[in-house]
Amino acid sequence: MEIKTRLGDTFWYYSQLFMIPLQLIIDSNPSVNPNNIAKGQSVDIPGFMIKNIEIKKGDTLWKIAGARNISVDSILLLNQYINPNQIQIGDSIDVPERIITKLVDGKKRYDYYQLQEDIKTLQAMYPFIKINRIGKSVDGKEIQEIRLGRGSKKVHFNASFHANEWITTPILMSYLNDYLLSLTNAAAIKGVKTLPLYQTVDLSIVPMVNPDGVDLVLKGPPEREKENVLKINEGSTDFTAWKANIRGVDLNNQFPAKWEVEKERKIPKSPAPRDYPGEAPLTEPEAKIMAQLAEKENFHRMFAFHTQGKEFYWGYEGMEPPESQAIANELARVSGYEAIQYVDSYAGYKDWFINEFKKPGFTIELGKGINPIPLSQSDEIYRDVLGIFLAGLYM
């Protein structure tokens, strides 16, 4: 919600007026000097939207404010040229409306377009989040990183490395939405207060690593790629089993962590709907982007959302640090998922992350069944894995 400042207003006053943490207001307005606010400046108030209403018989600003649990001054801030004692029936005024419900629908088919719409909406309502364009997919789709928090502990989450595991994206976006609502409404999540997490954690989220593959599974091939992907898919127009990127390379087999072992033993020796690791490590733009992001940011820990199995993997060749065990124990406790230290698989992002940085990395296998996991499991996955999201921040 954008407001225009009045003479003498301060961020501290807005924090008290709207009951929003001062730090969130400061972070929502990086171009405004909080110690020198001039009259008439535009300032964003996170967690609120503006609703226009019509004055009806018997209405007063005090009655309107009381019904909406807001202050009269917050209404006057949005309507600086009205006389509160002279409003007339039929007048239109703006009132601030606190956002208390989710903006992300985590229980529907979720393609790249829907992700873009939700990112735009969340950034407009919660301008303390930052959207970084970290690169482009094979088909030129922007791969985005969502960033928020002021802490020194860098925690990274990602989803949809695999195309037909797209359900991981709306689940992760739902957790982000929960976090934002909690911060702006001073409401704990499962008993966990989130403002201290915001102050101590620098959270990074890449919600859709493989946008071309996700769109292929959900919407079919774009015309320019149709001939090639049909050939890779052996002529079938059913892409529900497709895990790879649009070029038929499995992005989670692309990383230099015993990549040559996977290359040797994987059955596909050419582009395929799944498992083909490519002709060399990091040939695909999406894999390069994720490697470059980790190298640049030096995350303290990483969580990759996949499906399926109701389990998670947390070790690699004995290179995981001792703290990984404690984190794994907590993830298992809060989710009921099985913690598996080692698995006979290499060249994944988690493997490379642990190998490269000697820091905790986790592959979380959401749900159970056959990929793609049906949306009917969304509620159960959401409940089970919410604790994992929180533990990734507080551990």
Catalogue the active-site residues: 346, 365
CB of 337 closer than 8 Å to CB of 388: yes
Tokens, residue 80: 């600086």
Q: What is the dihedral of CA 22, 158, 353, 133, to 10 degrees?
A: -70
Sheet containing strand 361-366, strands side by side: 130-136, 142-148, 201-206, 153-159, 301-307, 361-366, 311-313, 338-340
Cα separation, 210 vs 245, in Å, equals 6
- Retrieve residue 310's tokens: 């109701």
240, 243, 215, 226: which is closest to 113 by C-alpha? 215
Kindly report the number of other CB atoms within 10 A of residue 241's CB atom: 15
Are the C-beta atoms of residues 333 and 239 closer than 8 Å to each other? no
Spatial contact of 375 and 108, defined as CB atoms under 8 Å apart: yes
Q: Position of tokens 């202050």?
A: 71
CA distance 337 to 359: 21
Q: Encoding tokens for residue 180?
A: 């934002």
Q: Concatenate the DSSP letters of all residues of 112-127 into one string.
A: HHHHHHHHHHHHHH-T
Q: How far apart are CA 90 and CA 72, in angstroms?
A: 19
Task: Print burial letters for 326-360: b (CB count within 10 Å at least 16), e (below 16).
Answer: ebbebbbebbebebbeeeebbbbbbbbbbbbbebb
Q: For the chain, what percentages of helix, strand and coil (3-state, to nearest 5) are there?
A: 40, 15, 45
Residue 304: phi, psi to the nearest 5?
-110, 120
DSSP count for the chain of H helices, then E strands: 14, 12
